[in-house]
Every structure is written in C-alpha cells, then in structure tokens.
C-alpha cells in the first residue's frame, strides 16, 4: 500500500504540493469556525502538536540518505 501511494505522490509537483497544503489550512480554518472552542486551548498545546508532527519530516530531511540507511 505504501509503495502505491509513494508512486502516486511522486507525480505531484511543487504547485500541487503547496495547493494541498493550502487546502489543509483552509479546512483547519473551517473547523475552527465551526468549533470555536478549539481556539481556547493553550498555545503550548498547538506548539507541542506541531513539534510531534514535525519529527518524521525532520528525520527524513536531515537523517542519513537512502545509501546509508539499513533496512
């Protein structure tokens, strides 16, 4: 399954990727408009979630390349 989605994702260009990011942001804004109590959470909660979500991309970006990775 991962191979299938990886092949499909590689077809996306930078514009497609950025449009998908914008769609996710607008979806999040719509959720906040529908459920405004979400914004009453602490800023630390959002920063913590951002850090958790950033771990995998940072490891992928700064980690060893494919030639050094052991499977």
Q: How far is CA 56 from CA 26, 36, 39, 41, in A?
A: 23, 29, 26, 24
pTM: 0.61
The yes-or-no verdict on residue 64 having pLDDT over 90 is: no
Q: Which helix (H) or strand (E) holds 60?
A: helix 43-62
pLDDT digits (tens, 9 = 90+) for 37-48: 988 999 999 999
Reply yes or no on whether the pLDDT at 71 is more than 60.
no
Q: Is the pLDDT of residue 29 over 60?
A: yes
Alpha carbon 21 to chain centroid, angstroms: 8
With residues binned 3-state (H G I as helix, E B as strand, rest as coil), the percentages for the chain, rounded to 5, are: 75, 0, 25
């Amino acid at each position: 399954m991962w191979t299938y989605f990886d092949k499909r994702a590689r077809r996306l260009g930078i514009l497609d990727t950025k449009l998908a990011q914008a769609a996710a942001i607008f979806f999040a804004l719509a959720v906040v408009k529908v459920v405004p109590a979400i914004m009453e959470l602490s800023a630390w909660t959002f920063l913590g979630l951002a850090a958790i979500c950033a771990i995998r991309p940072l490891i992928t970006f700064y980690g060893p390349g494919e030639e050094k990775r052991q499977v």
